[in-house]
A and B are shown apart, each in its own frame.
Chain A
Amino acid sequence: MKILIAEDDELMLRTLEFRLKKDGHQLILARDGREALERIDQYLPELIITDIMMPYLSGLEVVAALREKHQTPIIMLSAMGQEDIVLEAFRLGADDFITKPFSPNELSVRIKRFMLVHSR
């Protein structure tokens, strides 16, 4: 599956890339909200994983902007576990929300499940 990851922490980005590449996915990377929107339009990924706190455009703004044009499933990652953030993310159109600290293995499993649910 073609997946786009938007994350400003370089180590996190590389870790996720490594894990998901091992699972056999094709990856597109973005380091801030602006890059994310550009790359989404350019590469049309099948799944988007984005952090909330990023330079230029926050993850929430990315979701809002995205939902105006695409219906791609979005998983949000965040260190903010507060109820209103989670609710806002879902209200804007995110499909899943994972709080940090999280386990890369868990993410991998969730994605596998996503593929099952959204295939065909």
Chain B
Amino acid sequence: MIFFQALLLFFFGAAVFLIFFMTAYLLIRKKWRKKYAKWDSMIDLLLRKAIFFHESGSSADQPIPVTPRLRVNLENRRFRAQLTKKITSAKKNMSGQAGQNIKKLYLQLELDIHAIKLIETGKWHLMAIGIQQIGTMELKEHLTRIYRFTNNKNELVRAEAQLAVLNLFGFEGLRFLDVITYQLSEWQQMKLLRELSVIPQASLTGIEKWLKSENPSVVVFALKLARNYHHFELYQEIAACLEHPESSVRIQAIYTLTEIFNEDTSKRLLDRFPWEEYQNQLAILKAVKKIGDEADLPRLQGLLAAEDFDMKLSVVRAMASLGQPGMDLLMDGPQSQCYPLNEIITQVKSEIRI
């Protein structure tokens, strides 16, 4: 039973130790909080000085004044981290002269050197911080260093590198789409599109290549780009994606075609219909609702016989959207007075009224 007593003492001892550790941690953290607050006001003041620097009459070559106190604090890792965080956040919010001044401050304080050091540690979460800084602070000279990370095995490093490259080179930065082997997650695609939306639009070339990429997520992303930036000239390539082996690509092609279409598109989509899986079929019907015309009505009417009720609903919606002939055809149809079509038609009619 010595065994028990030993373990018992060990457990209780460990518990007591943890309690002391917690107390100590809380006290230390309280101390640090006060310090952080003081640093906060110091940093805010410095940043404001920097942002409005040119207005005090100084020339562009003069360094931004930094108090000796701040220089001393700069040696402290935590202070640097807090300062860097605030500087990058400010840089994201401000453009023009203010933005340039913030960058000037960043370089003056040699924070870029620390960013590189973070990248060189090899630890993924530190590398990501460094890469993000280089992107936000527009340090174009480090492009080659970052570019190779766009296909890094760590997901976060990859993501931050891709965003940074966009930050540095705008639409040109999308070159990495030529070479990446890892898939782009939907989330990452969303972030990339968001990043692009705040960059002034430049001519986007290379989409044709990406539409034929081996990497299905790249094709999906290219389809989104084509849609968002209205690349009507790529119609043929987009329509070709309707036959892609991956269903995620095909459904994205269907969505894209609702923006980039001509008078044949709805017919082509309906041609695809029998070969597609269920979710994509619903997407096709949604598309036809938007871009279809009266010529499609006969085929749509044929689809009314579908077993699945949600499918019937989508067909009815599509037909109803094609004007009075569509509605007439619906009302006169053989099954239209019985369940379920009668209820479905009633619902769709009330939707249109709204």
Chain A–chain B contact at Cβ < 8 A: yes
Interface residues of A (CB under 8 A from B): 9-12, 14-15, 18-19, 79-82, 99-106
| Cross-interface CB contact of B92 among A79, A80, A106, cutoff 8 Å | A79
A82 to B47, CA, bound (A): 29
A104, B51: Cβ atoms closer than 8 Å: yes
A12, B93: Cβ atoms closer than 8 Å: yes
Distance from B191 Cβ to chain A, minimum over Cβ atoms (Å): 13
Q: Residue on A with the closest CB to B40?
A: A10
A2 to B98, CA, bound (A): 24
| Cross-interface CB contact of A99 among B47, B52, B99, B198, cutoff 8 Å | B198
A14, B48: Cβ atoms closer than 8 Å: yes
B94, A101: Cβ atoms closer than 8 Å: yes
Known: A11-B86, A81-B198. Contact between A101 and B91, CB under 8 A?
yes
A101, B44: Cβ atoms closer than 8 Å: no
| B350 in the interface (beta carbon within 8 A) | no
> Can you list 28 residue pairs at the A/B interface with Cβ under 8 Å?
A9-B93, A11-B86, A11-B90, A14-B44, A14-B48, A15-B47, A15-B48, A15-B51, A15-B90, A15-B98, A79-B92, A81-B197, A81-B198, A82-B197, A100-B92, A100-B93, A100-B95, A101-B92, A101-B93, A101-B94, A101-B99, A102-B95, A103-B96, A104-B52, A104-B94, A104-B96, A105-B96, A105-B97
Interface string of B183-208 (1 = CB under 8 A from A): 00000000000100110000000000
A19, B94: Cβ atoms closer than 8 Å: no
A18, B48: Cβ atoms closer than 8 Å: yes
Interface residues contributed by chain B, number (CB under 8 Å): 20
Taking CB atoms, residues of chain B closer than 8 Å to A82 are 194, 197
A76 to B222, CA, bound (A): 31
Taking CB atoms, residues of chain A closer than 8 Å to B342 are none
State the 10 A-B residue pairs at the shortest beta-carbon distance, nearest first: A103-B96, A101-B95, A81-B197, A100-B93, A81-B198, A101-B94, A103-B95, A104-B98, A12-B93, A82-B197
**With contacts A15-B90, A18-B48, A104-B96 known, what are 15 further pairs, Cβ within 8 A?**
A9-B89, A15-B48, A15-B94, A18-B52, A99-B198, A100-B95, A101-B92, A101-B93, A101-B94, A101-B99, A103-B96, A103-B99, A104-B51, A104-B98, A105-B97
Taking CB atoms, residues of chain A closer than 8 Å to B92 are 79, 100-101
Interface string of B290-331 (1 = CB under 8 A from A): 000000000000000000000000000000000000000000
A103 to B51, CA, bound (A): 10
B198, A79: Cβ atoms closer than 8 Å: yes
Distance from B34 Cβ to chain A, minimum over Cβ atoms (Å): 17
B96, A79: Cβ atoms closer than 8 Å: no
Q: Residue on B with the closest CB to A104?
A: B98
Q: Residue on A with the closest CB to B96?
A: A103
Distance from B201 Cβ to chain A, minimum over Cβ atoms (Å): 11
B44, A10: Cβ atoms closer than 8 Å: yes
Taking CB atoms, residues of chain B closer than 8 Å to A19 are 52
Taking CB atoms, residues of chain B closer than 8 Å to A12 are 90, 93
Distance from A68 Cβ to chain B, minimum over Cβ atoms (Å): 23
Distance from B171 Cβ to chain A, minimum over Cβ atoms (Å): 15
A10 to B86, CA, bound (A): 10
Taking CB atoms, residues of chain B closer than 8 Å to A9 are 89, 93
A103, B98: Cβ atoms closer than 8 Å: yes
Distance from A98 Cβ to chain B, minimum over Cβ atoms (Å): 10
Interface string of B67-110 (1 = CB under 8 A from A): 00000000000000000001001111111111100000000000
Taking CB atoms, residues of chain B closer than 8 Å to A99 are 198
